[in-house]
């Protein structure tokens, strides 16, 4: 396919900037908030009383953001149209007592976060990111975005069977990054982070730190029709959702629903947290929005009954070297447009009426789309869609973008697809 000049470079270039600027969920929501602020959205505090005013608003909590746009003509019972996504990606996260080492090497103790493809973290130049919490309760973002750490793979001479027998990695023994040589001192890592962030180490009351690959996202392929980069699962959807919400909220748009972006943390380990999809965050924001506009419980029930959520997350493109693992009749391809994800056992929330909503949005946007369903012999993954549907009783459709190397430290997608997804999401939010 000759796609060299077909795709919207502007959108994909901006996604690359977003990915590089978002090594942690905390950075991703800060980047999203910055783009929303530029478009006229304003942050509202969960601890303040909310008012009935129209316009763009957002709530930030940890690694989650909920943003919505109240049109002038909205009533208390106006339904919502929600784009759902998640901000977290599988990686290695710093343990509470991080300073460790062996044999004269300085190392950092890490936990494995989510369903990480462990081998993809070997022999990469890794930076350190996340947030620190100061004693006064305020947060500072941390981003040491240069080669600092590495998980070195054992040389083949000391592991002769590795290629034939497969690489076996013990999560506790084999994944500890090195970050230098010398004596291990208690408090070394946090002192280093304090210095890098320009704060006094004694002021640090807590931290949430993780490692990231410092290699920049890049176009790939003969015609640069592919995009390689970190955390596309699922920052690709977060970025598209932000772009779609801003596009749908432009002045003069005749909206019959309230467009919403809900980007949650902790999807990769089951969504059970105060910032995860299983928590009350989205429901609280939607309810408070109804009540702030003078709505009753009845108005809230009416609004929720008319609400639809497109939950966008990555899915599997057909792998040329392992095509037998995929469903033979359903082979999503990069640059074929967004995918509709179906699983009758409700690992995905899509049903026939959801399909119709998604197909209509793609048609309005002039965007091609594809079906994804698992091979019956392979267990199917899941996402925030079924949780959102069950938690809030909201009609939910699971969609996304087909990628390769899901949960690798560096994933691969079609360079057209982010823009096609954003166009479909915009048409959906516009109703």
Span near Zn ion by CB under 5 A; candidates 187-195, 310-318, 327-335, 372-380: 310-318
The contact mask relative to Zn ion for 65-94 (x = CB under 5 A, - = no) is: ------------------------------
- Residue 231: CB minimum distance to Zn ion, A: 10
Whether 419 has a binding-site annotation, put simply, is: no
- Residue 267: CB minimum distance to Zn ion, A: 6
Span near Zn ion by CB under 5 A; candidates 46-54, 104-112, 294-302, 306-314: 306-314
Q: Which of residues 84 and 127 has its CB atom nearest to Zn ion in the complex?
A: 84
Q: Which of residues 107 and 271 has its CB atom nearest to Zn ion in the complex?
A: 271
3-state secondary structure the chain: CCCCCCCCHHHHHHHHHHHHHCCCHHHHHHHHHHHHHHCCCEECCCCCCCCCCCEEEEEEECCEEEEEEECCCCCCCCCEEEEEEECCCCEEEEEEEEEEEECCEEEEEEEEECCCCHHHHECCCEEEEEEEEECCCCEEEEEEEEEEEEECCCCHHHCCCHHHHCCCCCCCCCCCCEEEECCCCCCHHHHHHHHHHCCCHHHEEEEEEEEEECCCCEEECCCCCEEEECCHHHHHHHHHHHHHHHHHCCCCCCCCCEEEEEEECCHHHCCCCCCCCCCCHHHHHHHHHHHHCCCCHHHHHHHHHCCEEEEEEEEECCCCCCHHHCCCCCCCCCCCCCEEECCCCCCCCCCHHHHHHHHHHHHHHCCCCEEECCCCCCCCCCCHHHHHHHHHCCEEEEEEEEEECCCCCCEEEECCHHHHHHHHHHHHHCC
- Residue 116: CB minimum distance to Zn ion, A: 13
Whether 139 has a binding-site annotation, put simply, is: no
Q: Which of residues 234 and 408 has its CB atom nearest to Zn ion in the complex?
A: 234
Q: Which of residues 88 and 188 has its CB atom nearest to Zn ion in the complex?
A: 88
Q: Which of residues 271 and 423 has its CB atom nearest to Zn ion in the complex?
A: 271
Span near Zn ion by CB under 5 A; candidates 48-56, 255-263, 311-319, 327-335: 311-319
Whether 407 has a binding-site annotation, put simply, is: yes
Q: Which of residues 231 and 300 has its CB atom nearest to Zn ion in the complex?
A: 231
192: its two tokens: 């280093």
- Residue 34: CB minimum distance to Zn ion, A: 23
- Residue 314: CB minimum distance to Zn ion, A: 5
Among residues 213, 246, 212, the alpha carbon closest in space to that of 11 is found at 246
234 binds Zn ion (CB under 5 A): yes
Span near Zn ion by CB under 5 A; candidates 12-20, 106-114, 227-235, 357-365: 227-235
- Residue 99: CB minimum distance to Zn ion, A: 32
- Residue 351: CB minimum distance to Zn ion, A: 21
Q: Which of residues 313 and 417 has its CB atom nearest to Zn ion in the complex?
A: 313
- Residue 114: CB minimum distance to Zn ion, A: 9
Span near Zn ion by CB under 5 A; candidates 60-68, 198-206, 228-236, 323-331: 228-236
Non-local CB neighbours of 189 within 8 Å, separated by 6+ positions: 94, 98, 99, 108, 179
Among residues 208, 278, 313, 430, which is the contact residue for Zn ion, using CB under 5 A?
A: 313
Number of residues in contact with Zn ion, rule: CB under 5 A?
A: 3
Span near Zn ion by CB under 5 A; candidates 69-77, 205-213, 231-239, 407-415: 231-239
Q: Cα-flanking dihedrals φ and ψ of residue 122, to 5°?
A: -80, 145
Among residues 188, 208, 233, 417, which is the contact residue for Zn ion, using CB under 5 A?
A: 233
Q: Which of residues 144 and 210 has its CB atom nearest to Zn ion in the complex?
A: 210
- In order of 88, 184, 330, the CA distances from 413 in angstroms are 18, 41, 17
Q: What are the binding residues? A: 86, 157, 407
Residues of this chain that interact with Zn ion (CB under 5 A) are 233-234, 313
Q: What are the binding residues for Zn(2+)? A: 86, 157, 407
């Amino acid at each position: 396919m000759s796609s060299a000049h077909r795709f919207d470079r502007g959108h994909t270039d901006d996604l690359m900037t977003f990915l590089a600027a978002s090594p942690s969920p905390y950075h991703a929501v800060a980047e999203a908030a910055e783009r929303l602020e530029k478009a006229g959205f304003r942050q509202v505090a969960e601890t303040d009383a909310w008012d009935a005013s129209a316009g763009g608003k957002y709530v930030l909590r940890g690694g989650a953001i909920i943003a919505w746009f109240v049109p002038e003509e909205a009533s208390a019972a106006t339904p919502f149209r929600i784009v759902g996504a998640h901000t977290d990606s599988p990686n290695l996260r710093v343990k509470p007592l991080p300073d460790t080492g062996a044999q004269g090497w300085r190392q950092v103790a890490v936990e494995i976060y989510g369903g990480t493809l462990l081998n993809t973290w070997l022999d990469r130049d890794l930076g350190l990111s996340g947030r620190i919490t100061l004693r006064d309760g305020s947060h500072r973002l941390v981003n040491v975005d240069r080669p600092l750490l590495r998980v070195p793979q054992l040389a083949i001479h000391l592991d002769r069977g590795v290629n034939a027998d497969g690489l076996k990695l013990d999560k506790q023994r084999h994944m500890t990054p090195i970050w230098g040589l010398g004596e291990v001192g208690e408090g070394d890592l946090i002192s280093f982070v304090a210095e890098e962030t320009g704060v006094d180490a004694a002021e640090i009351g807590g931290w949430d730190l993780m490692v990231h690959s410092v290699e920049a996202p890049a176009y790939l392929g003969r015609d640069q029709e592919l995009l390689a980069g970190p955390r596309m699962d699922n920052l690709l959807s977060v970025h598209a959702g932000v772009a779609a919400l801003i596009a749908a909220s432009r002045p003069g748009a005749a909206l019959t629903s309230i467009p919403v972006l809900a980007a949650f943390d902790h999807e990769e380990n089951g969504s059970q947290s105060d910032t995860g999809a299983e928590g009350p965050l989205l429901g609280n924001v939607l309810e408070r929005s109804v009540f702030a506009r003078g709505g009753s419980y009845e108005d809230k029930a009416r609004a929720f009954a008319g609400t639809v959520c497109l939950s966008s997350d990555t899915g599997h493109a057909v792998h040329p070297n392992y095509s037998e693992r995929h469903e033979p009749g359903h082979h999503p391809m990069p640059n074929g447009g967004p995918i509709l994800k179906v699983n009758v056992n409700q690992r995905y929330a899509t049903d026939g009426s959801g399909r119709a909503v998604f197909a209509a949005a793609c048609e309005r946007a002039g965007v091609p789309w594809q079906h994804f369903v698992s091979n019956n012999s392979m267990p199917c993954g899941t996402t925030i869609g079924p949780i959102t549907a069950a938690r809030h009783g909201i009609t939910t459709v699971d969609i996304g973008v087909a990628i390769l190397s899901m949960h690798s430290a560096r994933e691969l997608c079609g360079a057209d697809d982010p823009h096609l997804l954003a166009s479909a999401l915009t048409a959906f939010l516009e109703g």
